[in-house]
A = this chain, B = another copy of it.
């Protein structure tokens, strides 16, 4: 029986983020992207979410290379966690490699990792695979798609992309090469679905520059611009327009400083001589000579813009009349944090300019008409939508069908599902371990659904600890019960309620005392039961009740 190509996503299907796709043929595996995800609202206390690496760890001897499409966290953020168990060479373009390098340094993994820089157009051999880097447009410099040649045919893995005919640098996505591959015959297309619900085309990055120009021209105030630190082209446009109007530029926020440093070192940023100044030196300048670029476009609590707004930034304080430009759209879920910062800026007398006012942000992902162009150019035999929740994958499948594709040639997969491909067949066959691993502080995987359920319970109604010491001989109460609560009610104003809780607990204890039982678990059960019943009736609340018995 001939070998089959297996394609397994460990992230990025039925979720946004933590993108990771495995291509396996015989004894060879390559991994495309190793991203991280961000916690949902109900994942209390979780810092980041990473893929379950079990399958890769088990098959680490087969891994011939890790290939990265671009440097966003949802495509490279889990690399340090994977590299704790798996060692494999990493292939990436210059900008992506620069960002990965920072990450490896931080996690002290740089020495033992092979990080290889490639250029668009290059082809890398990795076991029975050969991987060609193809230039695409995206909201970060140096993004690529991959044409992955396998013994059963060529797969095109787009990564995140858009079609920008007037990008700030790097030229338009290499549609010619994609078309050429399409003519030769492509077995499968694995394509970004992020914007598939949006009709039409995503606008060019360049149109944001025109909006900046209008906002800088004739402006007599200080200008503060916030955007995503990774969007080098956006930052370039701010710097260019600032220089054009004779403003000096200072930068604040760690990720913004890093991004500027890396992109400048690698030659992705063109800063006119004398334009960049230190944040400390900006105070002496006239207002209309000042431009500050800052992190905080999502209203993040500790970001520089939030600190500037709430007067907790050490070097910059917002001033009445300042023009604050928010060159970003809200990631769903962040509207309220952003709103808080904007309100504070207004309260301090600043003028806030956002998307509502002009074209101050464009997406980095292809909309429907761009996706249609890609499907039409590549004409794949099989189609696997990637990067999206169920609704994106389904809408993308429908779009492919409307482009004439046989629905039996489209596979909507899920993380952990194995897609098997031959030169003329596609099917789902089996699964491998996959899921969300939670990172909380230094801990990886030690917080799971039970712990999160407890956190949610504690968050909703707080907790009540009932402590009693009892005789180990006959179960007599020696002291207590003492009632301690946190996150439940104001104790001082609820002394009556506290007294009642003590009484209810005491009654349960007395009932148990009579039986001389020393079955602590049973006694705890009685206390918990009585208290929770009493409390729900009295307050309609359900705090966590934790009976503790000290045997003395």
Report which A residues bind B (CB closer than 8 A).
14, 40-41, 44-45, 197-199, 332-333, 335-336, 339, 342-344, 346-347, 352, 356, 389-391, 394, 440-443, 446-448, 450-452, 454-463, 465, 467-469, 478-480, 482, 484, 486-490, 493-494, 538-541, 544, 546, 548, 550-552
Contacts and interface: CB of A to CB of B under 8 A. Distances in A.
A347 B44 CA distance: 27
Given A45-B460, A198-B356, A480-B550, 6 more contacts: A346-B391, A442-B538, A446-B493, A457-B487, A465-B465, A467-B467
Contact of A462 (B198, B454, B538): B454
A211 to B, nearest CB: 15
Nearest to A414: B347
Contacts of A463: 458, 463, 486
Contacts of A548: 465, 467, 482, 484, 548
A447 to B, nearest CB: 6
B447 A489 contact: yes
A518 to B, nearest CB: 14
Contacts of A346: 390-391, 394
B442 A540 contact: yes
Nearest to A397: B346
Closest 4 CB pairs of A and B: A441-B540, A459-B459, A332-B335, A458-B458
A551 B482 CA distance: 11
A454 B343 CA distance: 26
Q: Which of A44, A45, A446, A539 has the most CB of B within 10 A?
A: A45
Contact of A391 (B343, B458, B493, B546): B343
Contacts of A45: 459-462, 487, 541
A389 B343 contact: yes
Contacts of A467: 467, 548, 550
A500 to B, nearest CB: 14
Contacts of A394: 346
A460 B40 CA distance: 13
A455 B462 contact: yes
25 contacts: A44-B487, A45-B487, A197-B356, A199-B356, A333-B336, A342-B391, A343-B389, A346-B390, A346-B391, A352-B391, A440-B461, A441-B539, A446-B493, A448-B490, A450-B490, A451-B462, A452-B487, A458-B458, A458-B459, A458-B486, A465-B546, A479-B550, A479-B552, A484-B546, A484-B548
A468 to B, nearest CB: 8
Contacts of A442: 538-541
A318 to B, nearest CB: 13
A347 B390 contact: yes
Contacts of A443: 489, 539-541
A485 B152 CA distance: 53
A81 to B, nearest CB: 15
A459 B448 contact: no
A552 B469 contact: yes
Contacts of A391: 339, 342-343, 346, 352
Contact of A333 (B333, B356, B390, B459): B333
A340 to B, nearest CB: 9
Contact of A490 (B197, B447, B493): B447
A277 to B, nearest CB: 30
B336 A335 contact: no
Nearest to A337: B41
A552 B343 contact: no
Q: Which of A44, A440, A468, A550 has the most CB of B within 10 A?
A: A550
Contacts of A344: 390
Nearest to A42: B336
A214 B364 CA distance: 32
Nearest to A461: B45
A325 to B, nearest CB: 15
Contacts of A480: 550
Contacts of A454: 462, 486-487
Given A440-B461, A455-B458, A463-B458, A446 B487 contact: no
A14 to B, nearest CB: 7
Q: Which of A45, A339, A458, A465 has the most CB of B within 10 A?
A: A458
B389 A552 contact: no
A451 B487 contact: yes
A230 to B, nearest CB: 22
